[in-house]
Structure 1
Amino acid sequence: MQAASSPPRHPRERALLATIFLLNGVEFLQAGMLAFGAGPIMGAIGASPEEFTIVTAVYAVVAIAAIAKQRWLVERMGWRLFIQVSVALFVGGAAVCATSEALPQFLLGRAIMGMGGAAFMTSARLMVNLMPPSPRRFLGIAVFASALAIGNALAPWCAATAVSHDSWQGIFVLLSVLAAGAAVLAGFSLPTDVAPPAQRTEAHPMVLLTMLGGAFLSLYALQRASYDFYADALPLLLAILLGTASLLYFARHQYNHDTPLLVLKRLAKPRYLTGLALFTLCYIVLGGNNTMLPVLMQRALGIPWEVIGKAQAAGLIAALPAFWIMASILRKRPSPKKFYVAGFASLAICGLLLARLNGEAGLWTHIVPAIAAYGVFIILVMATTAIQTFVDLQTDELAFTHGQQLKNMLSQFGLALGTGGAALALQWRSTEHAAILARRFGSADAAFSAAAGQLTEQFAASHGAQAAQMAVATLAQQLNQQAALLSALDYFGALAAFAVLGGVAMAAQRVLR
């Protein structure tokens, strides 16, 4: 009796899997490191938070352009050259950023990085399909998801380590080394074939420029809203409306065109659209939590920067074993609902744990378990959605590719919306809580007078006549810290309620099943 033949394999499977891992890992590593280390970087290049929003918006717009043109470029360059040129641009941009001493130079470096690195995640996922159709493709998906979990977890620790050693440039050195490794591996594992001219996608340059202009207006307004929404609400809302109109025009043009840059008409399937909405929702949560977790730990609880990086990394790494447990269950029970419900339940646990904190909360006993629950949410919901969303597109290679591109383009908007929304909520709730706390900030309040008296005595020896002023300043700082803590608790309480609703909705839905 003849033994069953083994499934077909890619001739350079190990090199291909390593390329997939590095490309996706670098994408999540760079996003997390730049978000976590933004404050120290701003100080080093002399940029205000408001000015730094331009960097964020420009990178996102360049990223959207690069992702939108990915298929167009691969058709003309082949996979190997496309990845090698992308890595060269990414490393070149990183070098510009690392040597920057002012905002304009850093802005240029991030734009160049976006040209090369924005499509890393999309490329890594599409490379899984370079493996022959067989159960081994799931190994490629597992490597892709593992890179997501590891990159997302290590980002805050790596950034905190670099910053704490007064070497924020190390962020870009690390990214360059890893990306260069991916380029070397790509030389061994990726094909060089280009598409025949008759099968190539059209460029649509003017419509693409319209879309990019709309993306910049929308993203810049969302970022600026974090700082001056209440003062300049009308201009920001007009920018968002004009940007949204431009994006809708692009979508309508592409939907009705016979040879579009993105085949939106072939993507209009209930399963794909539901998965797209869920992906965007995950990125909104990711952007919001990336904003609020440092606020809670640093501003509200006064935890040192380096310790915060280690704590976030320790919590988020829980996503990796969660994925492998999920993968083992998938083989026997592939229905996705249980993973969705478990994921949103984990997010609810995260919100509840953090919403019940107080000033005496332990970092490793209270906060890290909550971050671990959040990491489990990210991997369970995003990995499940990645598997389910593209089921109806598996036999349509062009639609599958464009579906991946569109999903990752929308991720930029999701992150910006989550970041801006969390910052606005922080402004609103901090103002409300500070106003309530300030009512007791005066000599007429017995508790205030007693605290001010004690602090004045403590400062008398070192500050002399200024002891009373130092006491009041210290109490004002404590008031702001308390307002930040209460605002963060409000946010995570709302997050828990949202997670409960999300879990119920995913249990009831009948599309992703």
Structure 2
Amino acid sequence: MYRKNAALLMTVGLLCALEYLQAGMIAFASAPIRGEIDASPEEFTLVAALYACIAVVVISKQRWLVERLGWRNFMLGSISIYVLGAVVCGISGDLTSFTVGRVVMALGGASFMTSARLMVNLLPPGPGRFVGVKVFATGLASGTAAAPFLSSLAVVEDTWHAIFWLLIAGAVAAGGLCIRFLPSEPIHEDERSPSSPANILLLSVSTFFLLYVLQRSYYDFYNESIILLAFALLAALGVYIFFHAEHAKDEPFLKVKDLMQSRYILGVGLFCFTYIVLGSNNYILPYFLQSGLGYSWDTIGTFQAFGLAGALLTWFAMALVIPKYPAPKKFFVVGFAALISFGLLLSSLTLDANMWTNILPALVLNGCFVMLVLATAAMQTFRDVTHHDTLFAHAYQIKSMLGQIAMAIGTTLATLFLQWRTTLQYNNLNGHFNPGDPLYQDSAQRLTLALSPAVGAGPANQIAVATLAQDLHQQATLVASMEYFWVVIVVAGVALGVSMAQKTFK
């Protein structure tokens, strides 16, 4: 029994780490991968929308499939499909094969994190389950922290395919562990959840259009804002109709009606809010560090990994405190205070900011915020539904489905904000970029004089103008990014006030 429990715990941590590794590595290396497979940003957006859409649908069917296949067959099938998709991505050299690989990976691996959390309930009730939760959170923090470092290492070494071979190795190891402990018997027919093909079709179509419109808005929002907003609202209405229909059924596919409790609703709302902030920060930080401050790709990956390791250290500290002082409110307060401090540290940087003393502490605080809020929400949100395996599974599935959408919303909001403010700041600064401006004349003359001995007067003047134009864009990006961090401060301040005032999570 001890060996089976140890294998289960290792699988829980590995599956959770794999989910955050694949998401983090591919997001961080998206630009280099696009270049290697000759894909435009718009085409890569379609791939991401397809993956997220399939992920939502697969997560919604997780419990339904487990009930009919049994845990072992379901996990071995999921891992096999995931490995197949990763192999296709690992040998791909064009957009078509990469897209096929990502779709297959989503079919197999989208439910890894949900499955990992539900596997914890295969442990006997008691302290062992809390150990399972700790292992789950450790896998989450480890995968989150390792993703940018491993991704940047693969890109710098010009071996981006190694991302997928690493995922394959982890998935094969998880499959071997699953054989050792997972039960193979399906759930008795009388206890199975009913199917709902029409509702699943509605969910699939609505989710795809919502995610695609969100990601398409990166490129067309300011030109076609009314059309995009209209389609987004229609798609969101479709998702709402899906949940409303499940709520109204006597025998639903997902037990939405039984989950309408204040603790669960507030917890899922907190999850979604945190995922929106996480998606926004994950987009802004690499762009800010590279385009605004001029750091190299591998440096950014390494320091983001150092910063996100703060999440792992935070979890170790929480694991020591929770058994003696389990009240959740203090963790939320400290988490949102960490997010405010993160924003304050990055909202007043200059071009000569030091990575170790000015930026790394902020990245660590961002990791602390993620773990303090997400881990605490995970332990509190589902407290009233753990007595029923199916209800708990449906509760976690719905949270994971909405989390996929919330991450996409966060990335979209950050992208649109940065486009808006960068353009505005660029136009403000561009007023000085003309031959009649004394500051421009002085800067151009000094650069031209410095370069002339090496390249000649004519090329030196051209290089000077190009350098000033690059500096202009960098300054606009820096100021726009700092405005974003002020928004984070305000939003985190409101969240801090709400977390102190609410009485559900005491």
For the 8 Å contact 1:145–1:383, the answer to whether it is kept is yes
Partner amino acid for 1:50?
A: E
Q: Which residue of 1 aligns with 2:421?
A: 429
Bigger mean CA offset, 449-458 vs 87-96 = 449-458
1:130-171, Cα deviation, whole Å (9 max, x unpaired): 000011211000000001111000000000000000000000
Partner amino acid for 2:472?
A: L
Deviation at 1:93, TM superposition (A): 0.6
Equivalent position to 2:504, from 489, 505, 511: 511
Matched, 1:462 2:455: yes
Deviation at 1:10, TM superposition (A): 5.9
Bigger mean CA offset, 27-36 vs 461-470 = 461-470
Q: Which residue of 2 aligns with 1:222?
A: 214
Deviation at 1:389, TM superposition (A): 0.3
Distance of 2:464 and 2:320 partners within structure 1: 59
Q: Which residue of 2 aligns with 1:329?
A: 321
For the 8 Å contact 1:217–1:243, the answer to whether it is kept is yes
Q: Which residue of 2 aligns with 1:16?
A: 8
Equivalent position to 1:195, from 162, 187, 192: 187
Distance of 2:195 and 2:445 partners within structure 1: 71
Equivalent position to 1:76, from 57, 68, 72: 68
For the 8 Å contact 1:149–1:320, the answer to whether it is kept is yes
Equivalent position to 1:289, from 254, 273, 281: 281
For the 8 Å contact 2:276–2:409, the answer to whether it is kept is yes
Bigger mean CA offset, 258-267 vs 462-471 = 462-471
TM-score by length of 1: 0.97
Matched, 1:254 2:246: yes
1:160-218, Cα deviation, whole Å (9 max, x unpaired): 00000000000000011001100000000111110112221122112111111111111
TM-score by length of 2: 0.98
Matched, 1:355 2:343: no
Q: Which residue of 2 aligns with 1:5?
A: none
Matched, 1:271 2:263: yes
Distance of 1:358 and 1:419 partners within structure 2: 25
Equivalent position to 2:42, from 42, 50, 53: 50
1:311-347, Cα deviation, whole Å (9 max, x unpaired): 0001110111211211211111111010000000111
Secondary structure of 1:393's counterpart equals coil
Alignment of 1:60-99 (within 5 A): 60-99=52-91
Q: Which residue of 1 aligns with 2:468?
A: 475
Deviation at 1:11, TM superposition (A): 5.8
Secondary structure of 2:384's counterpart equals helix
For the 8 Å contact 1:26–1:179, the answer to whether it is kept is yes
Q: Which residue of 2 aligns with 1:35?
A: 27
Partner amino acid for 1:312?
A: Q
Aligned residues: 505
Query: Unaligned stretches of 5+ in structure 1?
Result: 1-8
Distance of 1:511 and 1:424 partners within structure 2: 34
Distance of 1:425 and 1:99 partners within structure 2: 36
Equivalent position to 1:500, from 493, 496, 504: 493
Secondary structure of 1:201's counterpart equals coil
Partner amino acid for 1:472?
A: V
Distance of 1:368 and 1:150 partners within structure 2: 18
Distance of 1:238 and 1:96 partners within structure 2: 36
Q: CA RMSD in A?
A: 1.1
Secondary structure of 2:351's counterpart equals coil
Distance of 2:166 and 2:102 partners within structure 1: 15
Equivalent position to 2:109, from 117, 126, 129: 117
Equivalent position to 1:155, from 136, 147, 161: 147
Equivalent position to 1:398, from 383, 390, 397: 390
Deviation at 1:104, TM superposition (A): 1.7
Equivalent position to 1:238, from 213, 230, 235: 230
Distance of 2:394 and 2:2 partners within structure 1: 24
Secondary structure of 1:211's counterpart equals helix
Equivalent position to 1:174, from 149, 159, 166: 166
For the 8 Å contact 1:349–1:370, the answer to whether it is kept is yes
Distance of 2:323 and 2:404 partners within structure 1: 32
Secondary structure of 1:392's counterpart equals coil
Distance of 1:399 and 1:266 partners within structure 2: 8
Q: Which residue of 2 aligns with 1:450?
A: 442
1:58-86, Cα deviation, whole Å (9 max, x unpaired): 00001011100001110111111111111
Bigger mean CA offset, 138-147 vs 492-501 = 492-501
Bigger mean CA offset, 228-237 vs 138-147 = 228-237
Equivalent position to 2:412, from 394, 410, 420: 420
Q: Which residue of 2 aligns with 1:6?
A: none
Distance of 1:186 and 1:315 partners within structure 2: 32
Alignment of 1:308-347 (within 5 A): 308-347=300-339
Distance of 1:43 and 1:506 partners within structure 2: 44
Partner amino acid for 2:494?
A: L
Distance of 1:334 and 1:79 partners within structure 2: 32
Distance of 2:357 and 2:84 partners within structure 1: 42
Distance of 1:463 and 1:81 partners within structure 2: 71
Matched, 1:490 2:467: no
Partner amino acid for 1:174?
A: L
Deviation at 1:457, TM superposition (A): 2.4
Distance of 2:456 and 2:405 partners within structure 1: 50
